[in-house]
Structures are given as C-alpha cells and as structure tokens.
Amino acid sequence: MPEVVDFLLLGAGQLLTCAVTGKGPKRGADLSDAGVVTNGAVAVSKGKIFAVGTKEEVERRIEGASVAAVIEAGGRVVLPGWVDPHTHAVFTDFRSDEFEARILGDSYLEIEQRGGGINRTVRGVRESSEEQLFESSRRRCMQMLRQGTTTIEIKSGYGLDLINEMKMLRVISRLGEETPLDVVPTFMGAHQKPPELKSGDRYLRLVVDEMIPAVASEGLADFIDVFCEEGVFGIEETREILEAGRQAGFGLKLHADEITSLGGAELAVELGAVSAEHLIRVSREGVDELGRSSTVAVLLPCTSLGLASRTFAPARDLIGAGAAVALATDFNPGSAPSGSMPLAVALACSQMGMTPAEAINAATINAAFAVGRDDEAGSIEPGKRADLVIYDTGDYRDIPARAGMNLAAVVIKEGLRAWEREGFKDRSEVGT
C-alpha cells in the first residue's frame, strides 16, 4: 500500500471502469459490460490508479495511508480518458470547402483529381516550418483533451518525401512530450503517391528502401500504416510495404476497405496486423475473418459524416462475428475534420446501432488494444495510468444522446488536473 494517496476521487454516481474481463479486447456480449460501479471511488498514487471500486471498498484498501487531496465528483459520471486510435492530427489548414463540394455531389476522387484532397494538405505541410506545424497541431490536440481524450495515435503521411515525413514524425514526438496527451506515433508515408512520383513503383521503392529504415533508425514510430485503396496502394503494394515495416520492427495497421471493397480486411488478418481501420465497404468474408482473428476493427463514423455519406461500417455484423471493435475519430483536415471522440461515440450509437456501453468500451479499452497500450490506458484498473474524466451528468448515456454538447467537466491526466471547465469548482448541482 502507498504511504500517500495523492488524491481520492469520491462520489462518482456512475463510475465506468471499462475493465477487461477476459484476455484481450472485449468481444460479443462482453462489449456491453462497461463495469458500471455506483457510488464509485478511485485512489491515485504517483500518477497511477491504486484502488478502484465502491467508496467502502476503496477506503478499506487505503486504510492508514495519508490522503493528500480529495476530489468530490458529486454524483457525476466518471470514465477512463478516451483513447483515439486513428488520427492524422498534424496538418496546416482545414479543407472544409471540400465538405461543401461533397454535399453538392462531388466525389472524393473528383476532388483529389482537381488538386484537392490529401495532396493539397501535402503542399501545406511541405511549405510549413516544423515550429508552425507543431504550434497549430498542439492547439488542436488541446481541444481534443478538453473533450476527454487522453491518448491519441497520430499518423504521418502529409509529407510524402523523406525530409517532410521525418519533420511530421518529429512534430508528433514533440506533441507527446509537450502536451498532457500520450501520443502513439505511426509512420504513414504510404498515405498517397506524391504528384512528382505518381507513376510506376518509384515512390514504393522510396518508402521501402529509404523511409522505413530512416524512421526505424531514429525510433520515430511504433506502427506503420498504408492507405490500401483503388488508385492509391493496391493489395500487393500494401503487402510489400507492411512486410518491410514488420522487418523494421513496426506494428502493422491498414486503412482497409474505406471507399472500395479491395480485400484490405482479409490482408490485415493474413499479415496479423494489430488493426484494420475504416472498413465501410468490408466484405462478408472480411467480417468473418476479422471475427476469428486478433486484429482489431477500428471504425470511424466521423469520416462518413465528413464525407457527407450515409454509409457506415457494419458494426453490428462485426460484433456478431466476434470481432474486437474499436472507435476513433480519423481526425484530419479533409474527410474527418471533427476530432471529437464523444461525437464518434454518438454516431456509433445512432448510425451503427451500437449501445452506449458498447460504444464507450470501443472508444476506451478496445481502442487501447488497437494501439498496443492496453497495459497502461483505456480502463480504470489498478496499475494503469490515472487518466480519468468527470462528466457533468449523472447518466453516462447522456454522452452520446446529447451529441454536440461537451459534457466533460474535469480531465485528469496521470493524476493531475489537465483541464477543468471554468466555474465548475463552485457548482454543486449536476448537469448543464
């Protein structure tokens, strides 16, 4: 037992631990169990969770220790911080004119062909200094923290040459060091072929022969990701890049079956990838294979919203097949400019048929599995980092039901108050 409990959180009307019940991520019926404790409490020592349970259970566990501070949740909901396992959060400007163009009927590919899309952001990133890129990305990350996100994966992929991919990865690494967020870096040089190396396999060679070794030798990424899509990187190109990434020591991720049904999910399973992401157009075989595998299916409903599309990934089929489903924002300047995990949870409920408890587990503990951080984040369990969020409501279902309202009131990162809503301390009544 610690001699000093840094703080004791008391009075959680509903404390959702999202604790793992078996081995590995939550699947099937287990996904509905968010570990709800009424009148919950959490004791924190040295930035980690020491005890969690009802007030009586926790008080018994810390008997004799001195308690440095008490946080009274006043009957409110307490959740683990969101883990956002798929973002492209380092960029310059939003491209919301393309959102309007899509509403008016233009397709993603048409926009790309007239100089918009990913290549437009590539131009912006190449023209920006490392400092400019860091500062704009830092502000956006802090906005995500205020919505309760405490761990975030960020992909490179708007540099598309060695110098600019490395610049992005250094910015991603600094975001982890200089913001309260925990940042998981992913190398995604294979996000697009740049205009100057569009044809043949010259860009593929650059990624495999030069970029992967350089990123690995600087230790700048944990994962490698490829946009496996018609007209971007085909199945065989994706396989070659991911095999090279594996050799270099990266975990594997894929943008799979987002716009067309190319067999990306099946490839992810075959390669033993940590995750297959998007899956809007996943085939029936892909669903079944994911169900039998350890590859996490990361679904991104904010992308359907940003694409002005009514088609969402088949979450119910995936859950029914036994797949480990996680949720992410896909935060990026084009197809998903929101960055709000509560919005992703809300869309998962209203558009993909997930219940609030399923969606919350998918956005916390299963998301932590999708980025290999399940031993430290994603649930309120002893030994994990004390990343906790107090929401100004007594009913966790308000979080998706009241979409668009930020209900987060206090965000605690590794035992420290990283953000608190103005005036919150002086108010005792629950709800806004």
Nearest approach in angstroms of CB 277 to ligand NIG is: 8
Best CA proximity match to 231, nearest among 265, 276, 193, 278? 193
Considering only the stretches 10-18, 72-80, 117-125, 389-397, report the one whose residues sit in contact with ligand NIG under the rule CB under 6 A: 117-125
What is the radius of gyration, based on Cα positions, of the chain?
21
Give dist(CA 260, CA 108) in Å, integer: 12
Q: Pick one of Fe ion, ligand NIG, none as the site partner of residue 314 (Cβ within 5 to 8 A by kind).
A: none
- Helices of type H across 219-330: 235-247, 264-271, 284-291, 301-306, 315-320
Give dist(CA 413, CA 80) in Å, integer: 10
Subset of residues 312 to 341 that bind ligand NIG, contact rule: CB under 6 A: 330, 332-336
For ligand NIG, the nearest residue by Cβ is: 334
Counting runs of H as helices and runs of E as strands, what totals does the chain give?
A: 17, 18
Nearest approach in angstroms of CB 356 to Fe ion is: 25
Considering only the stretches 22-30, 116-124, 352-360, 394-402, report the one whose residues sit in contact with ligand NIG under the rule CB under 6 A: 116-124
Subset of residues 223 to 252 that bind ligand NIG, contact rule: CB under 6 A: 227
Nearest approach in angstroms of CB 369 to ligand NIG is: 20
Residue type, 327: L
Tell me the DSSP string of 71-87: EE-TT-EEEEPEEE---
Residue with Cβ nearer ligand NIG (168 or 336): 336
CA distances from 418 to 61, 217, 285 (A): 26, 33, 44
Q: Pick one of Fe ion, ligand NIG, none as the site partner of residue 118 (Cβ within 5 to 8 A by kind).
A: ligand NIG
Best CA proximity match to 21, nearest among 9, 12, 31? 31
Residue with Cβ nearer ligand NIG (315 or 418): 315
Q: Pick one of Fe ion, ligand NIG, none as the site partner of residue 304 (Cβ within 5 to 8 A by kind).
A: none
Nearest approach in angstroms of CB 71 to Fe ion is: 36
Of 237, 240, 266, 330, the residue at the interface with Fe ion (CB under 5 A) is 330
The tokens 């490395």 sit on which residue? 166
Identify whether the C-beta of residue 160 lies closer than 8 Å to the C-beta of residue 122. Answer: yes
Q: Which two tokens stand for residue 250?
A: 């990266």
Q: Does 118 bind ligand NIG (CB under 6 A)?
A: yes
Nearest approach in angstroms of CB 404 to ligand NIG is: 22
Q: Does 303 bind ligand NIG (CB under 6 A)?
A: yes
Considering only the stretches 115-123, 133-141, 353-361, 405-413, report the one whose residues sit in contact with ligand NIG under the rule CB under 6 A: 115-123
Tell me the DSSP string of 183-249: EEEEEEEET---GGG-STTHHHHIIIIIIHHHHHHHT--SEEEEEE-TTSB-HHHHHHHHHHHHHTT
Considering only the stretches 42-50, 63-71, 242-250, 329-337, report the one whose residues sit in contact with Fe ion under the rule CB under 5 A: 329-337
CA distances from 33 to 133, 359, 373, 398 (A): 40, 11, 20, 17
Residue with Cβ nearer ligand NIG (255 or 384): 255
Q: Pick one of ligand NIG, Fe ion, none as the site partner of residue 334 (Cβ within 5 to 8 A by kind).
A: ligand NIG
**How many of the chain's residues bind Fe ion (CB under 5 A)?**
1
The SS3 assignment for 70 reads strand
Nearest approach in angstroms of CB 259 to ligand NIG is: 8
Q: Pick one of Fe ion, ligand NIG, none as the site partner of residue 258 (Cβ within 5 to 8 A by kind).
A: ligand NIG
Three-state SS string over 395-424 comes to CCCHHHHCCCCCCEEEEEECCEEEEECCCH
Give dist(CA 183, CA 420) in Å, integer: 21
Nearest approach in angstroms of CB 139 to ligand NIG is: 18
Residue with Cβ nearer ligand NIG (288 or 330): 330
Nearest approach in angstroms of CB 158 to Fe ion is: 11
Q: Does 88 bind ligand NIG (CB under 6 A)?
A: yes
Residue with Cβ nearer ligand NIG (107 or 432): 107
Q: Pick one of ligand NIG, Fe ion, none as the site partner of residue 331 (Cβ within 5 to 8 A by kind).
A: none
Q: Parallel, antiparallel, or unpaired: how do β-strands 4-5 and 70-72 relate?
A: unpaired
b/e map 216-240, b = 16+ CB within 10 Å: beeebbbbbbbbbbeebbeeebbbb
Residue with Cβ nearer ligand NIG (293 or 303): 303
**Residue 149: partners with Cβ closer than 8 Å, 6 or more residues away:** 81, 82, 83, 84, 181, 341
Please give the residue ranges that form the binding site for ligand NIG (CB under 6 A): 88, 117-118, 121, 227, 255, 258, 303, 330, 332-336
Please give the residue ranges that form the binding site for Fe ion (CB under 5 A): 330
